[in-house]
Structure 1
Amino acid sequence: MFKIGEFSKLTQVSIRMLRYYDEMGLLKPAAVDKFTNYRLYGTEQIPVLNKIIFLRDLDFNVSQIAEVLNHWDNQFVSNQLESKQLEIESMIKDGQAKIDKIQMAKKDIEQEKITIHYNVSIKSVPSYEVFSLRRIVPDYYAEGQLWKEMSDFAAGNHVSISSNTFTIYHDGDYREKDVDIEICAPVNQMGENTNGFVYRRTEPVPIMACTMVYGSFENIADAYLAFANWLQEHRQYKMTGQNRQIVHRGPWNEEIPDKYLTEIQIPLKKK
């Protein structure tokens, strides 16, 4: 079982939305700790959460989502999706992405849901001397702007940084806005802090769970769900600390998103 913050991080759904789904009766916690009143969730609830998010993204309201969840069979869902498709087709360009989702959902219903396989490995991560920039940014997509800012500053101030960069996410849960991100570039020599750029030594992580994500950044959410299942099977471990991410191949060195390679890292400790 996972606390609500852990479940939020693994499913990439904010605590605020999980509490809202609880209040609306769409996704109640699997259990509530009788001593702490903490909401606790299990991996068996992830498929239901995925259905809620999928329907929400197609502009189904709460009552409509509840109705579909209560009548989740192939024919009923297909009929509902057909109705929504006709509605979306009457909208402007922005509706095209939603139409694509419907087509994919139809295939999933007919062919069974495809199981996602990600290999999770354990390694230790040493401390690094880094040149870093930490900011509260509007959302996760704003990370690219931080890297551009660091690159421009390094070039203009003759700062030599390694290409083995990584990102630390300091929030304890998934955030829809105001995300606390620190980008880090290892350096051979420490310097003076200036203009928000900081030289520091990162903390070593004795037990780091890692998985590689191939393809578009949209696949990262699936990797976190794979982590949830892995942690459920390896109960001797517990999540701790801040997640990290390393983009080995991304927009700056690879033109085709399907060839991106991203490493997700989650610190663990033994119970």
Structure 2
Amino acid sequence: MFKIGEFSKLTQVSIRMLRYYDETGLLKPAEIDKFTNYRLYATEQIPTLNKIIFLRNLGFNSSEIAVALKNWDDEFITYQLENKRLEIENMIKAEQDKLFKIELAKKDIRQGKIAINYNVSIKSIPSYQVFSLRRIVPDYYAEGQLWQEMSAFADENNIPISNNTFTIYHDTEYKEKDVNIEICAPVARMGKDIGEFTYRNTEPVPIMACTMVYGPFENIANAYLAFANWLQEHSQYKMTGQSRQIVHYGPWNEKSPDKYLTEIQIPLERT
């Protein structure tokens, strides 16, 4: 048996971390001296400690390491490593998005941009005969995947759809995850529902506030803020129903994000 200081030197792990692993239950001492209360460790514990260090260096937290130690086999650990890889990739993407927004902010400051004016117009939206796909997806970025699925399905089943597509957001509030999205493509005639792909008539909207957003999709957030100011100035209206979005010019028909054109539609009712 080795005292904690001796075990620390042999394993090149600090006493502080060994005590932490003890407190979290990841690596308890083999024995506690009943007279001195010294923590005592055995050489047989070194492989477990090596596993803890291995997973910790890959970004696993204490609870994840505990699960891995209890279920340690090649298949399970490979599965856990793949999940951690995907988690890290998502974290990297989120940080890259922040860097992109920082560069945009710096560019706007250099160009003296303070705000973009968004003109809000009111119009009536009729009912549309559409081919649609509605699903709860992880986040708003997943909408592109839905459009890819619809396009591939329409091609495989010879379903002619219009280019005047739009998206309906069925949640009444902004959500960071589990977003209820329905993508709609107007069609000349109705067909038979197949799985998640359905035909239906959308609801007409007598009063719809619309605003055009020019440039990258990042500008959409500012458009909603501008709409909030507009709504405060026009107190005869209040928001109701599901908002919609139409990307007139996007990645599929315009190379430059600066030339994207998105229409935001928000249903209203008179107070």
TM-score (norm 1): 0.61
Q: Tell me by how many angstroms 1:116 deviates.
A: 2.5
Q: CA deviation at 1:195?
A: 1.6
| 2:146 aligned residue | 146
Distance (Å, rounded) in 1 between the aligned partners of 2:143 and 2:264: 15
What residue in structure 2 maps to residue 217 of structure 1?
A: 217
| SS of alignment partner, residue 182 of structure 2 | strand
Q: AA paired with 1:162?
A: S
Aligned residue identity for 2:192: E
SS in 2 for 1:153: helix
Report % sequence identity: 72
Q: Deviations over 1:174-233 (max 9, x none)?
A: 010100000000000001111210100000000000000001000000000000000000
User: 1:115: which partner in 2?
Assistant: 115
* 1:258 is the counterpart of 2:258: yes
Q: Who wins on radius of gyration, i.e. which is larger? A: 2
**C-alpha separation in 1, matches of 2:244 and 2:153:** 23
- Equivalent residue, structure 1, for 2:105: 104
Cα separation, 2, equivalents of 1:206 and 1:96: 38
Cα separation, 1, equivalents of 2:97 and 2:162: 41
Structure 2 counterpart of 1:145, one-letter code: Q
User: Secondary structure at 1:123's aligned position in 2?
Assistant: strand
Between 95-104 and 133-142, report the one with greater CA deviation: 95-104
Residue 112 of structure 1 deviates from its aligned partner by: 8.2
CA contact (8 A) 2:108 2:114 kept: no
Instruction: Decide whether aligned partners of structure 1 residues 100 and 252 sit closer, same or farther in structure 2, where only a CA change above 3 A counts.
Output: closer
Q: Separation in 2 of the partners of 1:120 and 1:261?
A: 15
Q: Secondary structure at the match of 1:145?
A: helix
CA gap 1:254/1:113 in 2 versus in 1, 3 angstroms: closer
Helix, strand or coil at the partner of 1:146: helix
Whole-Å Cα distance in 1 between the matches of residues 137 and 166 of structure 2? Answer: 17
Find the aligned partners of 1:248 and 1:99 in 2 and give their Cα distance: 24
Aligned match of 1:124:
124
- Map Cα deviations across residues 50-79 of structure 1 (whole Å, 9 max, x no partner): xxxxxxxxxxxxxxxxxxxxxxxxxxxxxx
Per the alignment, residue 249 of structure 1 pairs with 249
Aligned Cα root-mean-square deviation (Å)? 2.5
SS for the counterpart of 1:122 is: strand
How has the CA–CA distance of structure 1 residues 151 and 179 changed in structure 2, closer, same or farther, with 3 Å as cutoff?
Answer: same
Structure-2 change in CA distance of 1:227 and 1:131 (3 Å): same
Give unpaired runs (5+ residues) of structure 2: 1-91
Aligned-partner Cα distance in 2 for 1:257–1:121: 24
- Label 1:102 to 1:245 Cα distance change in 2 as closer, same or farther (>3 A): closer
2:161 matched to which residue of 1? 161
* Distance in structure 1 (CA, Å) of the matches to 2:141 and 2:196: 20
Secondary structure of the structure 2 residue equivalent to 1:213 = strand
2:178 corresponds to which letter in structure 1?
D
Moved over 3 A (4+): 92-100, 102-108, 110-113
Matched letter for residue 104 of structure 1: A
SS in 1 for 2:148: helix
SS at match of 1:114: coil
Alpha-carbon separation, structure 2, partners of 1:223 and 1:103? 16
The one-letter code matched in structure 1 to 2:179 is: V
- Could you tell me which residue of structure 2 aligns to residue 194 of structure 1? 194
Question: Take 1:192 and 1:103, find their aligned partners in 2: how far apart are those partners?
Answer: 46
Distance in 1 (CA, whole Å) between partners of 2:252 and 2:100 is 30
Amino acid of the structure 2 residue aligned with 1:101: I
Superposition deviation, residue 100 in structure 1: 6.5
CA distance in 1 between counterparts of 2:213 and 2:266 reads: 14
CA shift, 1:106, in A, is: 10
Q: Distance in 1 between matches of 2:245 and 2:107?
A: 33
Partner of 1:151: helix, strand, or coil? helix
Unmatched runs of 5 consecutive residues or more in structure 1: 1-91
| Equivalent residue number for residue 268 of structure 2 | 268
The change in CA–CA distance for 1:101 and 1:192 in structure 2 (over 3 A counts) is same
